[in-house]
Amino acid sequence: MTIEFSKQLTATETPIPGVVLFELPVHGDNRGWFKENWQREKMLALGLPDFKPVQNNVSFNEKAGTTRGIHAEPWDKFISVASGKIFGAWVDLRQGPTFGNVFTATLDASQAIFIPRGVGNAFQTLEDNTAYTYLVNDHWSADAQGQYTFLNLADETTAIQWPIPLSSAELSDKDRVHPHLSQVVPMPPRMTLVLGANGQLGQALRDEYKDDSYVEFAGRADFDLNSKEAFNSRSWKNYDTIINAAAYTAVDTAESADGRRAAWQTNVSAVARLARLAVEHDLTLVHISSDYVFDGTQDMHSEDEEFSPLGVYGQTKAAGDAIVSVVPKHYIVRASWVIGEGNNFVRTMAKLAAAGVKPAVVNDQTGRLTFAANIAESIRHLLKSGAEYGTYNLSCDDATQSWADIAADVFELTGGARADVSGITTSEYFHGKEAAPRPLNSTLDLSKIRRTGFPTTSASTLLPQHINTVK
């Protein structure tokens, strides 16, 4: 076997999404050769996913013409030749628009290829005593074979041109009888689990993903974040994303002894268990943050502002954000003044307007509304677009308003008069009441999420639509 020495490390995309062919630098002399077969740092820089291999396997083939496949396995693989030469064929057997796409290549020890879960592998040895090695990111077991998807090596649709005809090749009896492409059931994607699916954001996520059968919704009765046993209730290798829409949000009650414990339990302890789970199983964790992680002294809050929470609720949300931030694959969506299905400020103001009540509403807290449906849309966008992991602010993009301004908008939109709403300061409103401190300015900088291509929306557009749904 002749190997080209001292090539540059390069990566080439293929017609199958996620399949990447690598040219490897091999260094040799009269004694033999050496190569860095898998080099995480360099290869990540070239686009290799950080797929976290846990097992290394070697396949030795005594004779040229030995042919194995086509097998799509429920894990990712990084494959390279240790000795000899192979012809490789890969077919996309995942559910989706690229189902049936084919890529072939001849590989020697100076090449390697990354194969994502659900892409069918097949190899034909072109020399005697050929061995290839592969890293996988799940432990092999006999049970896992039940999750394989197979394709016949002689399938007419993919029409792979084998260098050694299959009639002359060494095949297993099982590989001879695998189904043809028209009979293959595509490998489904891994699941997304939405926790807190009965809250106002959970309801919005149900609407956003109503046509996606691979999104599972769990309310507290289905998955209690405060129950350690719940975390052992699923086979997590079948999931790739968790969206945590659950939270303790009783801002004022959190200041009490019982409320403080409950807030820390749900917003911190349970989030720590979720983060540990995400790290152990290489899951993407989506978490919802709040403007209450800031003290409201800045004119505009950016994602990299240091935490400065005023009350217990804000403290627990900041602690949860800090925990989630260490998960390698995470999105934190930070929202302000969330409005969704169920009881909320807009619904309350609409009821007061209908009843002829003239309320005094706080006028020294300023910010912008965020609609739960918009949060759900942003989560889907971040996951689908492959945006850089991290924290993203989200709200409507109007000029900053006070709660009194928004109340006046609601009155006007429901047939009342703006003048029916009067202003009052926060200290006046809560005088003599047990209440948590509030940030006086909750305006969030939206430039980061806009750079991902997500279109922010104005409350002047969304508020009338929302009011129409609650009349």
Determine the number of helices (DSSP H) and then strands (DSSP E) in the chain: 12, 25
Q: Exactly one of 134, 292, 331, 429 is catalytic; name it.
A: 134
List C-alpha distances in Å: 240 to 194, 210, 278, 280: 12, 18, 9, 12
CB 163 within 8 A of CB 87: yes
Phi and psi of 233, rounded to 5°? -90, -5
Whether residue 209 lies in the annotated active site: no
Q: Which amino acid is at 162?
A: W
Whether residue 281 lies in the annotated active site: no
Q: Exactly one of 71, 178, 287, 301 is catalytic; name it.
A: 71
Find residue 243's DSSP bridge partners.
194, 286
Here the tokens at position 73 are 């396995």
Here the tokens at position 63 are 């004779």
Q: In terms of Cα–Cα distance, which of 335, 331, 338 is closest to 380?
A: 331
Q: In terms of Cα–Cα distance, which of 201, 260, 219 is closest to 379?
A: 201
Rounded CA separation 70/171 (Å):
11
Rounded CA separation 421/413 (Å):
13
Phi and psi of 323, rounded to 5°? -65, -50
For 207-244, letters b (16+ CB in 10 Å) and e give ebbeeeeebbbbebeebbbeeeebbeebebbebbbbbb
Q: Catalytic residues, which ones? A: 71, 134
